[in-house]
Amino acid sequence: MPEIPVIQQIEDVTARMMDDLQRALKKPPSERRWGMVIDLTKCTGCEACTVACKAEHKTPPGVNYNLVIKTEMGTYPNVREIFLPRPCMQCENPPCVEVCPVSATYKNEEGIVVIDYDVCIGCRYCITACPYGARSFDFGEWYTMGTPEIAPYETAPTFEYSEKRVRKDDASPIGNVRKCNFCIERVHEGLLPACVTTCVGRARLFGDLNDPNSLVSEILAERSSFRLKEELGTEPKVYYLT
Amino acid sequence: MGKKQKSPLQTKITRRDFIKTTAIVGGTAAITSQVDLAFRRVASIEGAPHGDKVVPYPLNKAENVIYSVCLQCHTACTIKGKVLDGVMVKVDGNAYSPMNMLPHLSYDTPLEEAAHYDGKLCPKGQAGVNTEYDPYRITKVLKRAGKRGENKWQAIPFDQAINEIVNGSTFVDGTKTPGLQEIRAVQDPDLMAALKKDAMAVAGGSMSLADFKAKHAAHLNLLIDPDHPDLGPKNNQFVFQAGRIEHGRKEFGKRWLKDAFGSINFYEHTTICEQSHHIATIQVTNAYKGKGKWAGGKEHLKPDFANAEMVIFFGTGAFEANFGPTPMSELVTWSLADRNMKMAVVDPRLSKTAAKATWWLPVKPGADAALALALGRWIVENERYDANYLVNANKAAATADNETSWSNATWLVKIENGKPTRLLRPKEAGLGDADAFVVSRGGKLLVVDPNDTKNAVEGDLFAAGTINGIAYKSALQLYKEVTMEHSLSEWADLCGIPVRQIEEVAREYTSHGKRVGVDMYRGPVQHTNGYYNGQAVLMLNVLVGNAGWTGGYGGGGGHWHEDGSKAGPFNLKKLHPGKLGSFGVTLTREKWRYEQSTLFKRDGYPAKRLWFPYTGNVYQEIIPSAAAGYPYSIKALWLHKGTPGFSPPGPNPTLQAIADPKVIPLVIADDIVIGETSMYADYLFPDTAIWERWGTPHTTPAIQVKVSKFRQPIVDPLPEKVAVFGEKQPVSMEAAMLAIAEKMGLPGYGKDGFGAGMDFNNRQDYFLKMAANLAFGDKAGGAEAVPEADEEELRVFRAARAHFPKSVFDEARWKKSVGNDDAIWKRVVYFLNRGGRFESFSKAYKNEKLGHPYSGMFSIFVDNVAAGKHSGTGAHFSGLPIFEPVKDAFGKVLHQSAEEYPFQLFTYKEVTGGQSRTVSDYWAQLNIAKENYVYMNKLDSDRLGFKEGDVVKLMSLTNADGMWVLPNNNDRAVAGKVKPVQGIRPGTVGVSWHWGHWAYGAQDFVIDDSLVKGDAQRGTGLCPNAVMIDDPALKNATLSDPIGGSAAFLDTRVKIVKA
* CB-closest option in B24, B333, B924 to A152: B24
Any B CB within 8 A of A119 CB: yes
| CB half-sphere exposure, B765, CA atoms < 13 A | 22
**Range A162-171 average pLDDT:** 91
Cβ–Cβ of A175/B41 closer than 8 Å?
yes
Task: Assess contact for B936 and B911: CB atoms under 8 A.
Answer: no
Task: Assess contact for B259 and B266: CB atoms under 8 A.
Answer: no
B91 CA: distance to closest CA in chain A (Å): 8
Task: Assess contact for B374 and B495: CB atoms under 8 A.
Answer: yes
Q: Provide the residue type at B116 as one letter.
A: H
Q: Tell me the percentage of chain B whose pLDDT exceeds 70.
A: 95
Neighboring chain A residues of B1 at a CB cutoff of 8 Å: none
Chain segment B234-270, per-residue pLDDT in tens: 999 999 999 999 999 999 999 999 999 999 999 999 9
CA dihedral A221, A227, A233, A237 (to 10 degrees): -70
Q: Which of residues 212 through 241 in chain A touch B, CB cutoff 8 A?
A: none
pLDDT for A168 equals 87
Chain segment B735-767, per-residue pLDDT in tens: 999 999 999 999 999 999 999 999 999 999 999
Helix (H) or strand (E) holding A85: strand A78-86
Q: Give Cβ neighbours of residue B240 (< 8 Å, ≥ 6 apart).
A: B253, B257, B263, B265, B266, B267, B638, B640
Task: Assess contact for B841 and B104: CB atoms under 8 A.
Answer: yes
Chain segment B187-215, per-residue pLDDT in tens: 999 999 999 999 999 999 999 999 999 99
Neighboring chain A residues of B25 at a CB cutoff of 8 Å: 149-152, 155
Neighboring chain A residues of B347 at a CB cutoff of 8 Å: none
* CB-closest option in B37, B912, B924 to A140: B37
Q: State the average pLDDT for chain B.
A: 94
Neighboring chain B residues of A61 at a CB cutoff of 8 Å: 922, 927
Task: Assess contact for B23 and B141: CB atoms under 8 A.
Answer: no
Which region, left, alpha or beta, applies to residue B268 given φ > 0 means left and ψ of -120 to 50 means alpha? beta
Cβ–Cβ of B333/A44 closer than 8 Å?
yes
Neighboring chain A residues of B360 at a CB cutoff of 8 Å: 77, 79
* Residue of chain B whose Cα is closest to the Cα of A141: B31
pLDDT for A11 equals 81
Rounded distance between C-alpha atoms, residue B217 and residue B681, angstroms: 37
Helices (H), B745-867: 763-776, 791-800, 811-817, 822-832, 863-866
pLDDT for B3 equals 34
CA–CA distances in Å: residue B919 to residues B128, B130, B692, B956, B978: 11, 10, 19, 27, 21
pLDDT for A7 equals 58
**The domain over range B903-1058 is classified in CATH as 3.40.1790.10:** no
A154 CA: distance to closest CA in chain B (Å): 9
Helix (H) or strand (E) holding B209: helix B209-215
* Residue of chain A whose Cα is closest to the Cα of B137: A148
Cβ–Cβ of B51/A56 closer than 8 Å?
no
pLDDT for B11 equals 29
Q: Which of residues 31 through 90 in chain A touch B, CB cutoff 8 A?
A: 39, 41-42, 44-48, 50-52, 54-56, 58, 61, 64, 72, 74-77, 79-83
Cβ–Cβ of A151/B89 closer than 8 Å?
no
Task: Assess contact for B840 and B705: CB atoms under 8 A.
Answer: yes
Chain segment A62-113, per-residue pLDDT in tens: 999 999 999 999 999 999 999 999 999 999 999 999 999 999 999 999 999 9
Is the bond preceding residue B110 a cis peptide, omega within 30 degrees? no
* CB-closest option in B11, B29, B339 to A148: B11
CA–CA distances in Å: residue B359 to residues B347, B443, B530, B731, B926: 11, 42, 23, 51, 32
**Range A119-131 average pLDDT:** 97
Eight-state DSSP code of residue B51:
P
| CB half-sphere exposure, B38, CA atoms < 13 A | 8
Rounded distance between C-alpha atoms, residue B358 and residue B355, angstroms: 9
ipTM: 0.97
Rounded distance between C-alpha atoms, residue B907 and residue B1023, angstroms: 9
Q: Give Cβ neighbours of residue B943 (< 8 Å, ≥ 6 apart).
A: none
pLDDT for A9 equals 54
Q: How is the beta sheet containing B419-423 ordered, strand by strand?
A: B419-423, B412-416, B470-474, B464-467
Which region, left, alpha or beta, applies to residue B430 given φ > 0 means left and ψ of -120 to 50 means alpha? left
Strand partners for B350:
none
Neighboring chain A residues of B923 at a CB cutoff of 8 Å: 51, 54-55, 143
**Range A159-171 average pLDDT:** 92
Chain segment B168-178, per-residue pLDDT in tens: 999 998 999 99
Mean pLDDT in order along chain B per 10 residues (1059 residues):
32 29 31 29 31 80 98 97 97 98 96 98 98 97 97 97 98 94 98 98 97 98 98 98 96 98 98 97 98 97 97 97 96 95 98 98 96 98 98 98 98 97 98 98 97 98 98 98 98 98 98 98 97 98 98 97 96 98 98 97 98 98 98 98 97 98 98 98 98 97 97 98 98 98 98 98 98 97 97 98 98 98 98 98 94 97 98 98 97 97 97 90 96 98 98 98 98 98 98 96 96 96 98 97 98 97
pLDDT for B53 equals 66
Reference B626, options B635, B615, B617, B614; nearest CA is B635
Neighboring chain A residues of B981 at a CB cutoff of 8 Å: 72
pLDDT for A169 equals 84
Cβ–Cβ of B25/A150 closer than 8 Å?
yes
Domain ranges of chain B: 1-55, 903-1058
Rounded distance between C-alpha atoms, residue A77 and residue B450, angstroms: 46
Q: Provide the residue type at A235 as one letter.
A: E
Domains of chain A: 6-241 (3.30.70.20)
Task: Assess contact for A230 and A92: CB atoms under 8 A.
Answer: no
Neighboring chain A residues of B939 at a CB cutoff of 8 Å: 76
